[in-house]
Amino acid sequence: MGSATLLFALFLFCPGGVICEILQNFSDVPPCQAFFYQGQEPTGLASPSTARICQRLQGQYYYATLYHRDARVPIYSAYILEKSTTSRPDLSSTNWYLEPMLADLPQGDMLQPSQSAMQNESEKVTDSQAVNDDYRNSGFSRGHLNPSGHHSAESQISTFTYTNMAPQQGNFNSGTWNNYETFLKDSILPGCSQTHVVTGIILSGSHPGEGVWLRGRVNVPTFYWSAFCCVRGDGSRRAEGRLGSNTAPYEVLAKSIPELEAILGREYGGAVSLFSGGCQ
Q: What count of other Cβ atoms lies within 10 Å of the Cβ of residue 216? A: 8
Do residues 38 and 276 make contact, with C-beta atoms less than 8 angstroms apart?
Answer: yes
Nearest to 28 by CA among 57, 46, 6: 6
Distance CA 89, CA 69 (A): 27
The mean pLDDT of the chain is 92
Distance CA 230, CA 272 (A): 20
- pTM, two decimals, is 0.92
pLDDT of residue 11: 35
Is residue 175's pLDDT more than 60?
A: yes
Top pLDDT among 85 and 130 is at 130
Do residues 149 and 185 make contact, with C-beta atoms less than 8 angstroms apart?
Answer: yes
Distance CA 34, CA 18 (A): 24
Do residues 244 and 172 make contact, with C-beta atoms less than 8 angstroms apart?
Answer: yes
Top pLDDT among 19 and 208 is at 208
**19 pLDDT band (50/70/90 cuts)?**
very low
The pLDDT tens digits for 215-264 are: 999 999 999 999 999 999 999 999 999 999 999 999 999 999 999 999 99
Top pLDDT among 206 and 41 is at 41
**Phi-psi region at 9: left, alpha or beta (left = phi > 0; alpha = psi -120 to 50):** alpha
Is residue 4's pLDDT more than 60?
A: no
For residue 131, what are the CA distances in angstroms to 118, 196, 210? 12, 28, 21
Is residue 21's pLDDT more than 70?
A: no
In one letter, which amino acid is 129?
Q
Is residue 30's pLDDT more than 70?
A: yes
Is residue 187's pLDDT more than 50?
A: yes
**Could you give all domains of the chain from N- to C-terminal order, each with its CATH number?**
21-279 (3.40.570.10)
263: helix, coil or strand? helix
pLDDT of residue 7: 35
Q: How many residues does the chain have?
A: 280
